[in-house]
Chain A
């Protein structure tokens, strides 16, 4: 096998998981928290042919608000890959992302008490 000449020294080895993102490893959703909540906006994509099967699945899953980790887990894709796919959907206005700042850092006393009771009932 001939070595892939188009790779320069800086490119490093090809990373297979990112084939789904056409090789891109960065996106507008790079900083998306693991437990940020994603909800499909319900808008129709401008060009449905641009949406990959994985992204259609994301739109399907996020018909109800779903966390970034659950999306990654459901799709069985690495978190970084999911962030790129989500970034594209976000850029096209197809999903809404609720950052964890509104979700987790300071959960209310009420929520924590509910969690304690829920754990006791497990």
Chain B
């Protein structure tokens, strides 16, 4: 089935999640054309109970820069990469970002594995296909993907791979693994 007529441009959305400083920006920069993108940071009642808004006015908006990159596969077929904002106060944005997303890359740092728990929980609950990419930082002890899988209590079908997000070739493998996983999920759903 042809989903879209060939003359209609198709845009796909991939999310890059993980804890603060885990390499989201680096991954987006290694593989895609970085583009400036700003959104509003809203500290409203949505933040109550999530973030400490003590001393902050009831409605405050400032603009914040987002990690955003574009990969042009061909004329009319574009993949957008969005870094999901790490701090909890940006969680209202996750729903918008994950809506219609093809899938998500959760970057993990074995020195602070718990940082990626919220991302994994989120995508598991939403049913968004995701993979875990373990960023191998210099000086960090290397773990086998299966050890990470056990530590994160992941379903067996969730791909886990080691990567170096600074390297374009490695970032490529990460994205290909995700799209292949999304394809597998899609085909399984159609059966």
Contact = CB atoms under 8 A, between A and B. Distances in A.
Interface stretch (B71-79, B118-126, B133-141, B152-160): B71-79
Main secondary structure of the interface of B (DSSP, over half): mixed
Contacts of B63: 17, 78
B64 to A, nearest CB: 9
Contacts of B114: none
Interface in A48-72: 65, 67, 69-70, 72
Q: Indicate the member of A77, A118, A119 with the most B CB atoms within 10 Å.
A: A119
Contact of A116 (B80, B183, B186): B183
A79 B37 contact: yes
B151 interface: no
Interface residues of A, number: 45
Contacts of A110: 2-3
Interface residues of B, number: 50
Nearest to A31: B96
Interface stretch (B6-14, B18-26, B45-53): B6-14
B17 interface: no
Interface of B: 1-4, 8-13, 31, 35-40, 57-63, 68, 70-71, 73-74, 77-80, 82, 96-97, 99-102, 168, 172, 175-176, 179-180, 182-183, 186-187
